[in-house]
Amino acid sequence: MTRHLLRDDDLTPAEQTEILDLALELKKDRWASKALEGPQTVAVIFDKSSTRTRVSFAVGIADLGGSPLIISTANSQLGGKETPSDTARVLERQVAAIVWRTYAQSGLEEMARGTRVPVVNALSDDFHPCQLLADLLTIREHKGALTGLTLTFFGDGRSNMAHSYVLAGVTAGMHVRIASPAAYAPRADVVAAARARAEQTAGSITLLTDPREAALGADVIVTDTWVSMGKEEEKISRLRDLGGYKVTKETMQLADADAIFIHCLPADRGYEVDSEVIDGPQSVVWDEAENRLHAQKALLVWLLGKS
């Protein structure tokens, strides 16, 4: 059966660990796998802008002996002229996997239903599971293990990143706190899915509106832009509503003394995070950005092996 990664809980706790273990191996020996030897082609499609995702998939696919085909929706038939399922049926005759950054999660689901090759969500409005594999790898490297750690996300709790922290964090057995105004709390169905997953992992999810309470004793402090791609029209209200959730030096002082700071990037310095935090000694954001490469290579190797 073809496996896809459309949202973080598509992976069981054991599968998530397997991929992270493989990512560490591939980080130690970058050329250890030639899973795409041939070269086989992987289509990497972008409906939205990207630096890290574009580069890490292109480099990672090449590292695996494959050939990346980067497609921009602006000059393809997808995105208005052709359905995701028809596109998938065309692509599967020629490529080994499809990676897609898009808006609606439903498009990814349709793409996955329509094809026999693995489909990977490279960010949608709802989830960013590739980023989470890199983030968990980074946390594991810096903290030694994931189970039992407390991770606090500050800001837009309804964003793709927050939803992915909720699902992937609980899958990893972490205690995930989301600090946001009530109107920006994670979607109820995502919280319910995380609570169901928590029964298997002893992780937990807590929704808080008080940023100080949320920071207290946390092992990992996380934030993301207040204005995700596609939300630009809400910029003024978002800056107003989320202003109290900025990660500052004081936030880091409330957290555990050995806490690390992560951010998927790009960062709006001075908005969701102060420069003294992102450039400070607890920040591991550059390791995190590098880990996109290792985590996604492991994901591709794993998906191709299972499918």
Is 50 a binding residue for ligand CP by CB under 6 A? The answer is yes
Q: Which of 229, 239, 287, 307 lies at the binding interface for ligand NVA (CB under 6 A)?
A: 229
The size of the interface with ligand CP (CB under 6 A), counted in residues, is 9
Cβ of 60: how many Cβ atoms within 10 Å?
27
Contact of residue 228 among ligand CP, ligand NVA, none (CB under 5-8 Å per partner type)? ligand NVA
Q: Which residues pair with 44 in a beta bridge?
A: 70, 99
Identify which of residues 123 and 254 has a Cβ nearer to ligand NVA in the complex. 123
State the Cα–Cα distance between residues 261 and 144, nearest whole angstrom: 15
Contact of residue 283 among ligand CP, ligand NVA, none (CB under 5-8 Å per partner type)? none
For the question of residue 131 being annotated catalytic, the response is yes
Closest among 122, 124, 108 to 160, alpha carbons compared? 124
Phi, psi of 277 (to 5 degrees): -85, -50
Residues 107-146 that bind ligand NVA (CB under 6 A): 123
Closest among 207, 208, 129, 139 to 174, alpha carbons compared? 139
For the question of residue 224 being annotated catalytic, the response is yes
Q: Which of 260, 264, 284, 300 lies at the binding interface for ligand CP (CB under 6 A)?
A: 264
Q: Which residues of 91-104 are buried (b: 16+ CB within 10 A; e: fewer)?
A: bbeebbbbbbbbbe
- Binding part of the chain for ligand CP, among 51-59, 92-100, 146-154, 240-248 by CB under 6 A, reads 51-59
Single out the catalytic residue among 128, 163, 177, 294. 128
Q: Which of 18, 265, 271, 307 lies at the binding interface for ligand CP (CB under 6 A)?
A: 265
State the Cα–Cα distance between residues 119 and 127, nearest whole angstrom: 14
For the question of residue 130 being annotated catalytic, the response is no
Identify which of residues 56 and 282 has a Cβ nearer to ligand NVA in the complex. 56
List the structure tokens of 235: 């910029």
State the Cα–Cα distance between residues 223 and 200, nearest whole angstrom: 27
Per CB under 6 A, residues contacting ligand NVA are: 123, 159-161, 224-225, 228-229, 264
